[in-house]
Amino acid sequence: MKSTFWPEARDNHGAFVGNAHEFCEWSYSGHQTSQHFAIHHCSNVLIELSGHQAKCESAFLYVWIDPHKNETKLLGGRYNDRCEKRNGEWKVLQRQTIFDWANRLPGARDFEGIFGMPPTALKGDHFPNDLIYAES
C-alpha cells in the first residue's frame, strides 16, 4: 500500500487523518487483529492531467466478511486524489475519502446455499491455509 503514496502524502480516511504511510500501517495492524475476510475493489477511475500534477477520482467497494458474527459489511465511496509525477513515477500526494453508502447484511460465506456450490469447492482461507500459500 505504501508504494501508492509519496512519503509526505496526506490521507483523510475518515477514521484516520494524517500521513498516508502511517495510515497504511494503521490499516494493516487493524486487519491483523481480526479474523475476517476482506475485498477492496477500485474502479471507474477518472483522471485529469495537468503536466506533472493530476486530479483523480476512483470509486471503491469494500466488503468485510465476518464468519464469526455471520455478517457481511459493505462500504462504497470514492477516493479524491491529487497525484504528482516525480522522476517518471506517479504517486498519490493527497487523498480525501468520500463515503457514499454503507450496508450490513446477514450471512457471510454460505456458498452452498446461495450459489449451490458443492462442499468440495475450493474456498478462500487465511494464512497459511489459503491456496495462494501452497507450494507448487
Q: What is the pLDDT of residue 113?
A: 80
Q: Kindly provide the residue ranges of all beta strands, DSSP E only, lying in 26-70, ordered along the sequence.
A: 37-50, 53-66
Torsion angles phi and psi, residue 53, rounded to 5: -120, 155
Would you list the domain boundaries of the chain?
2-133
User: Among 79, 47, 74, which residue's Cα sits nearest to residue 63?
Assistant: 74
Q: Let me know if 20 is exposed, middle or buried by CB neighbors in 10 A (0-12, 13-18, 19+).
A: buried
- Confidence at 6, pLDDT banded by 50, 70, 90: very high
Identify whether the C-beta of residue 102 lies closer than 8 Å to the C-beta of residue 73: yes
pLDDT score of 112 more than 90: no
- Quote the CA–CA distance of 3 and 14 in Å, as a whole number: 21
pTM of the model: 0.81
Q: Which architecture does CATH list for 2-133?
A: Roll (3.10)
Distance, in Å, from the CA atom of 53 to the CA atom of 75, rounded to the nearest integer, reads: 29
